[in-house]
Amino acid sequence: MPEGSRNTEAEITNVRPAKNPNILGQLTSEELMMSSSEPGYTNLLSPIEWMMPRSYITQILCFSSSSPEVPQILRIGLAELLTEVPYLVCGVMDGSSPKGSVALSKPYQTLEDLFSFTDLSATMDYNSLKLGNYKPSSLGGLDEISINSSAGNENAQPVFRSHLYLAQTGYFLCVKIHHSTTDITGLGILLKLWASHCRIGRSGAAHVTKSWLDRSAFWKACTEAPADLPGLLHYQRTHSSRGEEKGSATDMVTSIFTFSNQQLNLLKTELTKFFSVNGIKWVSKGDILTAILWSSIVSTEILFHETSISTNKPHQSNMHAIRIPVNFRRRYVPPLATNFMGAAFGVSLATAKEADLINIALCNDNELFLSALARVSWAIREAISRVNARSMRDVVQFLVAQKDITNLKFGPKDANISIVSWADEDVYDLDWGHADLTVALIPRPLCSAIC
């Protein structure tokens, strides 16, 4: 724990009544599980979730309020949320079949395990961090919360954890959810639900329907497994020694690129002039942003290992690849619920010439820049289009038919860079039940770039 902190869990008092007064008591894990709208208990996670990273999605939410009510508001809201999403008190454990899969444990945790609070107001000032644009290095340690529980389960990792920190004039809420149960879109839905349950006496809370948690669509797809390995899966290569890397974590920096919607619209309009020449049909603004981020990463990596880059004579034959996770909720057949809270993404691979990536990042010639940006954006759009109902159904059916999926990985092949769009998480400016409780999102990067 950082110096100057003190644990004030016991000091949180009931500052206003909950919708259900009993929810503030020490609900047992069994009571939380029984409150689910789906009778019975199932530990099944979907074949897509078998392939998720065995790690946590971690985010820090920043609240510009110094109200002493905030801890209790969040605690009450989370307690209500657990009655609708009861598997948050479970853990993720190894599945029995196929080998390499995962499953949910039986419930074994309480609200006290899932939500904790620490006062850092003596050492941390919210406004100072805000003026510094919440520089990630200034928030060191806030995401390192314990995943242990009072009950304990040696064979499982908790699905969910949250820890609230009080600073001077604000709060920081660290949220962790196990990636084997959801994706970034699912986390966004969970946060919106939590926020809605915090609005006691104001607007009504959203309520989970069966379709939000229903994973049966994946199992219904399992009719006939494809004989060959699907294009969106690959077998992990045996890792070999690559020698000492020239860079390290201490060399990494976080850069923030800011584009207004007007700027992006103007840029996209300029790009359309190069579509017919390059055989391009259409690209999104997200594709353009991804191309810009990708070019920045590649040019930075090359500069790190070389003294200079010539934009006139880049390595013409060199190709670069990125892994692109794609949300397929609306692409699946039948479509999953828009608010489906499980994991629902496939991973595709985009490739581009080094010359194009360098011209996007460093070239001063506007025509070369736009032409290269159009080609790389189109490569990204083509990669995204390969994640569709048929390709993902093949993935699901193939996985279910295997006896051992330990070495199977998402994507056509490995790549060192993954660019993830969190644009549809939509957690900015959520109403968390207090007039001053506005939120800014600080994701902890798990990859080279986040778009």
Q: What is the DSSP string of 243-299?
A: ---S--GGG---------HHHHHHHHHHHGGGHHHHT-----HHHHHHHHHHHHHHH
CA distance 211 to 313: 54
Number of domains the chain contains: 2
- Are 199 and 310 members of one domain? no
Residue 400's alpha-carbon distances to 97, 99, 109, 218, in angstroms, are 9, 11, 30, 10
In a domain, 303, yes or no: yes
- Are 215 and 117 members of one domain? yes
pTM of the predicted protein model:
0.82
Q: What is the mean pLDDT of each run of 10 residues along the chain (451 residues)?
A: 36 33 35 37 81 91 88 94 94 93 93 94 90 76 76 82 94 94 94 87 70 88 82 78 40 70 92 83 92 92 68 64 94 92 96 95 92 95 95 94 94 87 76 68 47 38
Cα maximum dimension of the chain: 70
In a domain, 105, yes or no: yes
In a domain, 252, yes or no: no
- Are 400 and 297 members of one domain? yes
Q: Which of 346, 371, 410, 341 is nearest to 178 (CA)?
A: 341
**What CATH number corresponds to the domain at position 133?**
3.30.559.10
- Are 380 and 434 members of one domain? no
Question: Residue 440, exposed/middle/buried by CB under 10 A (0-12, 13-18, 19+)?
Answer: middle
Among left, alpha and beta (phi > 0; psi -120 to 50; other), residue 4 is left
| pLDDT score recorded for residue 146 | 78
- Are 375 and 404 members of one domain? yes
- Are 66 and 120 members of one domain? yes
- Are 45 and 192 members of one domain? yes
- Are 330 and 317 members of one domain? yes
Tokens 């990125």 appear where?
322
In a domain, 243, yes or no: no
User: pLDDT, tens digit, for every residue of 401-421?
Assistant: 999 999 999 999 888 888 888
The number of CA neighbours under 13 Å toward the Cβ of 378 is: 19
Side chain identity at 257, as an amino acid letter? F
- Are 186 and 215 members of one domain? yes
Q: Where are the alpha helices (DSSP H) in 115-207?
A: 126-131, 184-197
In a domain, 242, yes or no: no
- The Cα angle at residue 395 between residues 392 and 399, in degrees rounded to 5: 145
**Strands of 417-420's sheet in order across:** 345-353, 319-327, 417-420, 449-450
| pLDDT score recorded for residue 4 | 38
- Are 274 and 310 members of one domain? yes
Q: CB–CB of 68/76 below 8 Å?
A: no
| pLDDT score recorded for residue 154 | 75
CA distance 80 to 72: 12
- Are 56 and 164 members of one domain? yes
Q: Which of 267, 309, 322 is nearest to 451 (CA)?
A: 322
User: pLDDT, tens digit, for every residue of 353-387?
Assistant: 999 999 999 998 999 999 999 999 999 999 999 99
In a domain, 322, yes or no: yes
In sequence order, the 6+-apart residues with CB closer than 8 A to the CB of 133 are: 256
- Domain range for 295 is 233-237+257-420
Among left, alpha and beta (phi > 0; psi -120 to 50; other), residue 238 is beta
| pLDDT score recorded for residue 309 | 55
- Are 215 and 269 members of one domain? no
In a domain, 227, yes or no: no
In a domain, 54, yes or no: yes
CA distance 339 to 329: 9
